[in-house]
Amino acid sequence: MGQDIFSELVYGSRISLLVGLSAALATVVLGTLVGLIAGYYGGLVDDILSTITDIMLLLPVLPFMILMAAFMGQDYQNIVIAIAAFTWPGVARLVRAQVASLKGSLYIEAAKAYGAGSGRIMRVHILPQLYPLLVAFVVLRTGGAIIAEASLSFLGLGDPTQKSWGGMIYWAMNSGAISSGKWWWIVAPGLMITLTVEATALIGYAIEEYVNPRLRHL
């Protein structure tokens, strides 16, 4: 490859972390929107959105992400869209459960009695209660998004003009790293992906324990 591996790792971390965080944010925003509406309104709205969520949860995520990314073209923005499009249902289901338990609270009933509309109640009274949980979701989903980006880039669906950890593995394989015995071309980015995902998981679990103290005793 003729390039310094350490420099590529540092330079490629920009794309891997940016795509991972952007996809996680998009996933949480979309999942929160669906879960908030389904949990608050209930009834037919909840049935429709919950059915869509359940169907999405049954789909094989990676093959559909590959198809969508291949159809949209080699660009990291398209990878972010593909990841978010198929990973939001898990967030939506958890948010819906939280909202359904919150909407019967006394302060929500008081807000309704004072004439607050549904939009204001969701935005001002319910959504802020979810912020700590949503932060944990973003951190935890970042690790999964980094793995998804690496998988798609490894298959040649990433932007060839930009460096990422998954792209490094792709080009290493294409350059015959295994046959030539240059294992460090593959191990170095793979190790960075593993350590970063492990770090985001530990941070996310720590935030979850802070948000929900009952988890500390599990």
Query: Among residues of the chain, what percentage have pLDDT more than 70?
Result: 95
Counting other chains too, the contacts that 33-37 makes at CB distance below 8 Å and 24 or more residues apart are: 34/88, 34/92, 34/95, 34/96, 35/91, 35/92, 35/93, 35/94, 35/95, 35/96, 35/97, 35/98, 35/99, 36/95, 36/96, 36/99, 36/122, 36/126, 36/127, 36/130, 37/122
Decide if 21 contacts 83 (C-beta within 8 A): no
**Residue 125, pLDDT above cutoff 90:** no
- What is the DSSP secondary structure assignment for residue 157, as one 8-state letter? -
Which tokens hold the place of 155? 């298959």
State the pLDDT at residue 216. Answer: 52
State the pLDDT at residue 218. Answer: 45
Task: Measure the CA–CA gap between 114 and 126, rounded to whole angstroms.
Answer: 16
Q: How confident is the model at residue 54 (pLDDT cuts 50, 70, 90)?
A: very high
Decide if 195 contacts 9 (C-beta within 8 A): no
**Residue 71, pLDDT above cutoff 50:** yes
Burial of 187 (0-12, 13-18, 19+ CB in 10 A): middle
State the pLDDT at residue 181. Answer: 76
Average pLDDT taken over every residue of the chain: 87
Decide if 19 contacts 193 (C-beta within 8 A): no
Residues 106-122 pLDDT 10s: 888 888 888 778 888 88
- What is the DSSP secondary structure assignment for residue 214, as one 8-state letter? G
Task: Measure the CA–CA gap between 117 and 111, rounded to whole angstroms.
Answer: 8
Decide if 38 contacts 102 (C-beta within 8 A): no
Hey, what CATH topology would domain 5-217 get?
Answer: MetI-like fold (1.10.3720)
State the pLDDT at residue 28. Answer: 95
Q: Kindly state the average pLDDT of the residues 145-174.
A: 87
Residues 78-90 pLDDT 10s: 999 999 999 999 9
**Residue 95, pLDDT above cutoff 60:** yes
Supply the Cα-derived Rg of the chain in whole angstroms. 20
Residues whose CB falls within 8 Å of the CB of residue 82, separated by 6 or more in sequence, listed in order:
65, 68, 69, 72, 152
> Cα 38 to chain center, whole Å?
20
